[in-house]
Copies of this chain bind each other. A is one copy, B any other.
Amino acid sequence: MDQSVQSESKFAVEAGRSATSAEQPSKVIELEAVSVRFGQGRSGTTALGETTLDVRKGEFISFVGPSGCGKSTILRLVSGLVRPTNGVVVVGGREVGVKALRIGMAFQNASMMPWLTVERNVMLPLKIVPPFRADYRRKRKGEFRDRVRALLAQVGLSDFADHFPWQLSGGMLQRANLCRALVHDPQLLLLDEPFGALDQFTREELWGTLQALWLDKRPTVLLVTHDLREAAYLGSRICVMSARPGRIISDTPVPFAYPRTLETTYEPEFIALGKRMRELIVPVQTSGGSA
């Protein structure tokens, strides 16, 4: 642990401290010199270079970086789906594996169960995660159903609750996926390009929805996106990653007050931030090849 604090890049420490998390000092996520390799020997791939990261309760961290750099891998590490090849991952004070927190995760591809309707797919976390699971049998046709319907309505899928996943368009699946990540009031929210297949306007609308929700319940959020505007609009911190094997090369607080509006994105400071981020990445791009 001490080790980890020492090895944190100064930049990250600064950023972390100065951001919104100042008033909530408890660490929710600690990655200590973590790296991930898939496969063995020379044929293996380093999916994530040595990475150290601290997240405090209630922070909203956006990850941006080139394709294949390990963004999804970080989320999978935190959710316990991938174990680190080196280093330690601590979530909610415990080593990953034991779930100390209620986690909600939206995967990059929607991964809906093809045998369940959209409603049942979204309801799945309520069936699994305590304390909801205890009431599942009793409430699935009542309270839980209403809860799911309300969420679906919020993303414009009211009419599709009883459809099967293959009857939906790509963007609709993404929205259902987002609902599934949110339905059980997670304390830690992991979103992997949740707005990927959406048009800009639905997208901007959902930014508002997500921000309102975050401000209301204050879950800790890790968001992977490839849209710098999105990263800055939503995040309290932005982590920029280098090309594969990815590392966090910049960890910057976003200094705008919440709630932010679309107007905020036109403020000169906001545009300047975007420009700065961009410059951080572009040399990375050229040096690291197109991937």
> CA A109 – CA B177 in complex, angstroms?
15
For the complex, is A155 an interface residue (Cβ under 8 Å from B)? yes
Asked if residues B226 and A198 are in contact (CB atoms below 8 Å), the reply is yes
Q: Scoring A residues 61 to 80 as 1 if CB is less than 8 Å from chain B, else 0, what string do you get?
A: 00011111000100000000
Give the interface segment out of A26-34, A199-207, A248-256, A265-273.
A199-207
Q: Scoring A residues 220 to 231 as 1 if CB is less than 8 Å from chain B, else 0, what string do you get?
A: 000000111000
> CA A201 – CA B290 in complex, angstroms?
8
Asked if residues A199 and B108 are in contact (CB atoms below 8 Å), the reply is no
- Residues of chain B with a CB closer than 8 A to A156's CB: 289-291
Interface residues of A in 179-236 (CB under 8 A from B): 192-193, 196-203, 205, 226-228
For the complex, is A157 an interface residue (Cβ under 8 Å from B)? yes
- Residues of chain B with a CB closer than 8 A to A85's CB: none
- Residues of chain B with a CB closer than 8 A to A67's CB: 169-172, 174-175, 197-199, 202
- Residues of chain B with a CB closer than 8 A to A196's CB: 170, 196-197
Asked if residues B175 and A203 are in contact (CB atoms below 8 Å), the reply is no
Asked if residues A193 and B170 are in contact (CB atoms below 8 Å), the reply is yes
From the candidates B109, B200, B278, name the one contacting A227 in the complex (CB within 8 A). B200
From the candidates B170, B193, B200, name the one contacting A109 in the complex (CB within 8 A). B170
Asked if residues A226 and B203 are in contact (CB atoms below 8 Å), the reply is yes
Asked if residues A281 and B193 are in contact (CB atoms below 8 Å), the reply is no
Tell me the nearest residue of chain B to A192, going by C-beta: B170
For the complex, is A22 an interface residue (Cβ under 8 Å from B)? no
Asked if residues B68 and A171 are in contact (CB atoms below 8 Å), the reply is yes
- Residues of chain B with a CB closer than 8 A to A193's CB: 170, 197
3 closest Cβ pairs, A-B complex:
A67-B171, A156-B291, A156-B290
7 example contacts (A-B, Cβ-Cβ < 8 A) are as follows A67-B198, A68-B168, A68-B172, A108-B197, A157-B291, A170-B193, A201-B285
- Give 19 A-B pairs besides A38-B167, A196-B196, A205-B285 with Cβ atoms closer than 8 angstroms: A45-B167, A67-B171, A67-B197, A67-B198, A68-B171, A108-B170, A155-B290, A170-B193, A172-B291, A197-B226, A199-B226, A199-B281, A200-B227, A200-B228, A200-B278, A201-B281, A202-B290, A202-B291, A203-B226
Could you tell me which A residues sit within 8 Å of B by CB distance? 38-39, 45, 64-68, 72, 108-109, 155-157, 167-172, 174-175, 192-193, 196-203, 205, 226-228, 278, 281-282, 285, 289-291
